[in-house]
Amino acid sequence: MDEKSGFDAIIIGCGIAGASLAYFLAERGMTDILILEGEEQPGYHATGRSAAALLEFDPVPSVQQLKILGAQFLRNPPNGFSENPLLRPSG
């Protein structure tokens, strides 16, 4: 715990990245996590306005590997990560 803030971690922004970071820090034992969000609700900007398309192909091999791993995570998230499915196939 940081002596100045009193928190194990302070996360700026509660989009998908900030919320995921908080989840995984808690999974690793952190109990005092503060998430600061400037909007009225989480996921307001890029997360809430995405095209919601999952594309696993990329001409850059390292980026394609990240996309494949990300898709695997979304298809089969860890137990307790979300109460709702993360993907809804549509085509």
User: Looking at the whole model, is its pTM more than 0.75?
Assistant: no
Vertex 75 angle, CA 71 and 81, to 5°: 105
The residue extents of the domains of the chain are: 1-50, 51-91
pLDDT at 64: 95
pLDDT in tens, 62-82: 999 999 999 999 999 988 888
CA distances from 21 to 57, 68, 91 (A): 25, 19, 30
pLDDT in tens, 13-62: 998 899 999 999 999 999 999 999 998 888 888 776 777 788 899 999 99
pLDDT at 24: 93
Q: What residues does 9 pair with on adjacent strands? A: 33
